[in-house]
Amino acid sequence: MSRIYLCVFFGMMLTALAPASANATPNCLHDHKPYRLAGDSIEWSMAIAPGADCIQGLRWSTMQIYAVWVLEKPKSGKLVIVGPGFRYFATPDFSGTDKFSLVVVGKNLREEGYSTVDITVSHPSAPLTSSDLSLPRS
């Protein structure tokens, strides 16, 4: 009987210590195409608001990632490699664009290789206003 109370007690403690909700990072990459790990280079674009962060995995379904290296650091934001992915933090005063490059080393369909991924960071698109939708005058 005491074992049941002990399990209930630990369950209540874990529930009390757990955060109330999980926050997922929105998809901040746009139309990113897969790289091939065949000595190729690819360009991706990312939109992020000032002070926000984006976490992105780099593995595709047919790949095994061995390592991710920073080839070129971002100039204004902060970049952290997280396993086979990265997390980019935009500064609160972020304006204009930022850029960084990664080298991904691994295996794709039994072929080992590497790819270079160049990522350009910009602000999300501003919402359209009625003046943006007006037709040009002739």
Residue-range domains of the chain with CATH? 37-122 (2.60.40)
3-state DSSP assignment of residue 33: coil
The CA distance from 67 to 19, in Å, is 31
Would the pTM count as exceeding 0.75? no
The tokens for 97 are 């664009």
Q: What is the pLDDT of residues 76-125, one digit of tens each?
A: 999 999 999 999 999 999 999 999 999 999 999 999 999 999 999 998 86
pLDDT at 123: 87
